[in-house]
Amino acid sequence: MRFLVFASRNSKEIVRDPLNLAFGFGFPIVLLLMLTAIQANVPVSLFRIEELAPGMAVFGLASISLFCGMLIAKDRSTSFLMRLFTSPLSASDFILGYTSPMLPIAVMQCAICFAVSIFLGLAMNVNVLVAIAVLIPAVVLFIGIGLMAGTVLTDRQVGVMVGAGLTNACAWLSGIWFAPGLVGGWFESVAYVLPFVYAVNTARAAIVGDYAAIFPQLWWVIGYAVVIMTTAIFIFRKKMDNDDM
């Protein structure tokens, strides 16, 4: 259980960066409030809370990739990670130490998003808990993206590629604001190759209690999560074995 000490250190590092933490938790909530206010003042159904809440929960998870990526990249840039390689920690300890603090943060983020949505009109029932549960594979996916980015990019590059690139990809290609089919063409094709739209659809199916529609969508997210996390772990171990951090 040596990784627990390292995980505790990483949790403290995340908390010591209140600006990124506030952005990760607060920005999806601000968007949720703004779009709900817009919906209340238009005569057509644009942003139904049952569709908007799951979308915002998935959108917020992009910040988990940023937290994870920035933490690893900063440890690499300061040679802190290289110094730790002289400790008894194994590659598995490092990977668990970086990823395990992100899981409760991500689940808490989803829970807060749905809690705010309940005050905005979302039905409070067991479907909310099911929606949080089916988002766990998406959580693993975003953590894997952060682990991979932090291992191969500098902290500045992580800020650009993950903070801007991933956030925008998740926002526009996940069907949060509009169905990709409304644009069609290459946009729709790209959206349905990536996992983000499937994560949103899975959570939306859970929220309305359409459990039969969950797994056709969820398998895509699980598949991506396994591939991305496995690739991230392989790259991390490879660079660690070659002292190329």
Residues 178-212: tens digit of each pLDDT:
889 889 889 999 999 999 999 999 999 999 999 99
Closest CA to 11 of 103, 76, 90: 103
pLDDT score of 85 more than 80:
no
Phi, psi at 228, each rounded to 5°: -65, -45
CA distance 136 to 139: 5
Exposure on the CB side of residue 88, measured as CA atoms within 13 A: 4
CA distance 183 to 103: 34
Amino acid at 228: I
For a pLDDT cut of 70, what percent of the chain falls above it?
Answer: 98
Closest CA to 187 of 92, 197, 136: 197
pLDDT score of 244 more than 70:
no
For a pLDDT cut of 90, what percent of the chain falls above it?
Answer: 49
Mean pLDDT of the chain: 88
Query: Could you tell me the pLDDT band of residue 214, with boundaries at 50, 70 and 90?
Result: very high
| Range 144-148 average pLDDT | 93
Residue 187 buriedness (CB in 10 A; 0-12 / 13-18 / 19+): middle
CA distance 110 to 200: 12
Kindly state the DSSP code that residue 88 receives in the 8-state scheme: S
How far, CA to CA in Å, does 235 sit from each of 89, 106, 159? 17, 23, 20
pLDDT score of 68 more than 70:
yes
| Range 15-34 average pLDDT | 82
Contact (CB, 8 A) for 58 and 138? yes
Residue 89 buriedness (CB in 10 A; 0-12 / 13-18 / 19+): middle
What pLDDT was estimated at residue 143? 94
pLDDT score of 6 more than 90:
no
What pLDDT was estimated at residue 181? 86
What pLDDT was estimated at residue 203? 95
CA distance 160 to 167: 10
Query: Could you tell me the pLDDT band of residue 21, with boundaries at 50, 70 and 90?
Result: confident
